[in-house]
């Protein structure tokens, strides 16, 4: 069984490292040589043990929290394990020994009623609550403001398949259920969710809901928020059961209020999601396009048509070249295929008759649109390694590189401008610091009206790489907003995107969100500073 299958093991990431500690990634000689061309020849300084402040949780508050029945820990090991998420700025702070954002305590409930009681204690005693499940945030979503003691509310004990409506194909899953575990439980009934973000091995059901996660099969099965038909949410104002039918005209859809709320409005404890039969056939192939523009036009044609694949991904020329240079990378093209240009991955899943119908149609459309088929090898190579690509960041940081990602989304008519402007903003900001950068881009989420752009940046790390990246990120954010695109497609807001998000939504929407926040969380205990100032 390969790592690409839906029943891969979950991964417990080491604090401060984004990767599988049991199977670390290594850089190929070709990639090491390419780093040298960017002046990256000296390894990063050794990682310093994080120094965390003393807990500010007093004995009386700790006793009150323990009286709820939840487990309460204030030892350094537990607190360090909840120290931030896994963005490059998060990891750089960890590597430098900065543990200043560690929560003051970790509180682990085992039942919903304990969460109700914990929130009441926190409201009464002026404690902040940062919900935690997979811990895979990449936008500062696990580091709330520390003006008051912060508890990390560990939801990982809330796990399992709570209910299954096989007739309606709706599953209710506890929020702390890891995605591989969810797929294993559903497969016992011949079903799957089919949601495969790159954080799949560590992400949870609840985390996907509150960040509007997008998986690699989004063109086939939709984003996670499109799969959600109901939620159970514990708020300081009470418990909300949301979603009585698949669709309704009974007022605004309040599911959308909590989807993407990042724990700032309530604690999601259970999610009802649309599921589907496990595909009998999965066929993945590679396609070559001469340039990014022609590949993107082909993606648009498929997205706007009536017959679509399940997976559709296009790497630009730079990302295609890196994949070819690193044999363990996801998506290497066949050695017999064309050189240069862009690699597209196409996956078609379903029962045999469905795949036999859709696959030839998609192939014919891609040929007509300028694509050259590369066969199954690059597609299967990508499928087998698709969760491991992000794990290259650890060895890249070790080698002295600055590497980070960012993403955005816009309408098709704006794709070309957005890609050019963001690339120029990043290369300009890093070039001004004397560190030329490689900026790669891919499209992996498409819709009839638009698509997301996902950028990966590599440059030589300076003495303070956190400040170095902050300048580039600020320039990229400004370019995204100037182009009229959204500040994020699926990475969420956290603290990193909060200011451009507020600019994006405007004063009227901000007023409405503040009113909702005040109604549900009048004491402001939930993730202060996350999503909303």
Q: How confident is the model at residue 140 (pLDDT cuts 50, 70, 90)?
A: very high
User: Which of 222, 251, 277 is where one domain is finished?
Assistant: 277
Closest residue by Cα to residue 178 from 153, 151, 152, 199: 199
Mean pLDDT, residues 56-69:
98
User: Which of 249, 277, 305 is where one domain is finished?
Assistant: 277
Domain membership flag for residue 464:
yes
Q: Which two tokens stand for residue 296?
A: 């993107």
Q: How confident is the model at residue 21 (pLDDT cuts 50, 70, 90)?
A: confident
Domain at 413, CATH number: 3.30.300.330
What pLDDT, on a 0 to 100 scale, did the predictor assign at position 4? 44
Domain membership flag for residue 505:
no
* Same domain flag for 237 and 187: yes
Rg over CA atoms, the chain = 23
Closest residue by Cα to residue 483 from 430, 411, 406, 404: 411
Gap between the Cα atoms of 377 and 420, Å rounded: 31
Domain membership flag for residue 346:
no
Domain membership flag for residue 128:
yes
Residue 2 has pLDDT above 70, yes or no: no
* Same domain flag for 139 and 165: no
> How far apart, in Å, are the Cα atoms of 182 and each of 123, 233, 376?
33, 19, 28
What pLDDT, on a 0 to 100 scale, did the predictor assign at position 8? 67
* Same domain flag for 269 and 167: yes
Residue 335 has pLDDT above 50, yes or no: no
Q: pLDDT tens digits, residue range 455-507?
A: 999 999 999 999 999 999 999 999 999 999 999 999 999 999 999 999 999 99
Q: Which two tokens stand for residue 208?
A: 């996907």
Range of the domain at 478: 400-482
Q: How confident is the model at residue 79 (pLDDT cuts 50, 70, 90)?
A: very high
Q: 3-state SS string over 325-394?
A: HCCCCCCCCCCCCCCCCEEEEEEEEECHHHHHHHHHHHHHHHHHCCCEEEEHHHHHHHHHHCCCHHHHHH
* Same domain flag for 195 and 241: yes
Domain membership flag for residue 349:
no
Gap between the Cα atoms of 269 and 155, Å rounded: 8
* Same domain flag for 71 and 147: yes
* Same domain flag for 148 and 168: no
* Same domain flag for 222 and 132: no
* Same domain flag for 172 and 106: no
Domain membership flag for residue 291:
no
pTM: 0.95
In degrees, rounded to 5, the angle at the alpha carbon of residue 202 between the alpha carbons of residues 201 and 208 is: 105
* Same domain flag for 147 and 167: no
Domain membership flag for residue 100:
yes
State the DSSP code for 50: P
* Count of domains observed in the chain: 3
Q: pLDDT tens digits, residue range 271-318?
A: 999 999 999 999 999 999 999 999 999 999 999 999 999 999 999 999
Q: How confident is the model at residue 1 (pLDDT cuts 50, 70, 90)?
A: very low
Q: What percent of the chain has pLDDT over 90?
A: 89
Domain at 117, CATH number: 3.30.43.10
Residue 54 has pLDDT above 80, yes or no: yes
Domain membership flag for residue 525:
no
Q: pLDDT tens digits, residue range 380-427?
A: 999 988 888 888 999 999 999 999 999 999 999 999 999 999 999 999
* Same domain flag for 109 and 171: no
Q: 97 Cβ partners below 8 Å, 6+ apart?
A: 47, 48, 49, 50, 51
Domain at 207, CATH number: 3.30.465.10
End-to-end alpha carbon distance in the chain: 46
Which of the pair, 14 or 476, is modelled with greater confidence? 476
User: Which of 460, 482, 504 is where one domain is finished?
Assistant: 482
What pLDDT, on a 0 to 100 scale, did the predictor assign at position 326? 56
């Amino acid at each position: 069984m390969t790592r690409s299958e839906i029943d891969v093991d979950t991964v417990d990431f080491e604090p401060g490292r984004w990767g599988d500690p049991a199977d670390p990634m290594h850089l190929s000689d070709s990639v090491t040589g390419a780093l040298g061309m960017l002046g990256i020849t000296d390894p990063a300084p050794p990682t310093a043990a994080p120094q965390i402040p003393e807990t500010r949780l007093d004995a009386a508050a700790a006793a009150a929290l323990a009286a709820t029945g939840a487990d309460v820990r204030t030892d350094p090991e537990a607190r360090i394990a909840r120290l931030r998420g896994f963005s490059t700025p998060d990891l750089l702070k960890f590597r430098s020994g900065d543990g200043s954002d560690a929560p003051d305590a970790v509180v682990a409930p085992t039942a919903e009623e304990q969460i109700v009681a914990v929130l009441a204690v926190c409201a009464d005693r002026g404690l902040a609550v940062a919900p935690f499940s997979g811990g895979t945030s990449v936008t500062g979503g696990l580091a709330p403001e520390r003006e008051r003691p912060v508890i990390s509310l560990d939801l990982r004990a809330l796990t399992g398949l709570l209910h299954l409506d096989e007739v309606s194909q709706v599953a209710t899953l506890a929020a702390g259920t890891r995605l591989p575990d969810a797929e294993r439980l559903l497969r016992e009934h011949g079903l799957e969710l089919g949601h495969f973000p790159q954080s799949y091995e560590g992400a949870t059901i609840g985390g996907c809901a509150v960040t509007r996660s997008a998986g690699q099969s989004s063109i086939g099965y939709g984003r996670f928020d499109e799969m959600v038909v109901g939620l159970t949410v514990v708020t300081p104002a009470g418990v909300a059961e949301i979603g009585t039918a698949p669709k309704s005209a009974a007022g605004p859809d309040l599911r959308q209020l909590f989807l993407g709320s990042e724990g700032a409005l309530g604690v999601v404890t259970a999610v009802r999601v649309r599921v589907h039969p496990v595909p009998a056939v999965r066929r993945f192939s590679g396609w070559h396009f001469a340039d990014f523009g022609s590949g993107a036009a082909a993606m648009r044609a498929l997205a706007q048509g009536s017959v679509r694949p399940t997976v559709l991904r296009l790497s630009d020329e730079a990302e295609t070249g890196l994949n070819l240079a690193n044999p363990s990378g996801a998506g290497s093209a066949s050695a017999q295929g064309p050189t240069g240009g862009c690699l597209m991955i196409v996956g078609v899943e379903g029962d045999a008759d469905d795949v036999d119908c859709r696959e030839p149609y998609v192939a014919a459309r891609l040929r007509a649109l300028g694509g050259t088929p590369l066969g199954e090898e690059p597609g299967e190579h990508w499928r087998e390694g698709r969760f491991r690509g992000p794990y290259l960041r650890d060895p890249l940081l070790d080698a002295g590189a600055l590497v980070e990602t960012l993403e955005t989304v816009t309408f098709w008519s704006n794709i070309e401008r957005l890609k050019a402007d963001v690339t120029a903003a990043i290369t300009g900001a890093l070039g001004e610091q004397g560190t030329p950068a490689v900026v790669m881009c891919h499209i992996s989420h498409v819709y009839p009206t638009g698509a997301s752009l996902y950028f990966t940046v590599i440059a030589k790390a300076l003495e303070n790489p956190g400040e170095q990246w902050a300048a580039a990120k600020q320039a990229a954010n400004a370019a995204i907003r100037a182009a009229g695109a959204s500040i994020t497609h699926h990475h969420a807001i956290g603290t990193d995107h909060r200011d451009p998000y507020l600019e994006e939504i405007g004063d009227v929407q901000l007023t409405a969100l503040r009113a909702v926040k005040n109604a549900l969380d009048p004491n402001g205990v939930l993730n202060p500073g996350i999503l909303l100032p």
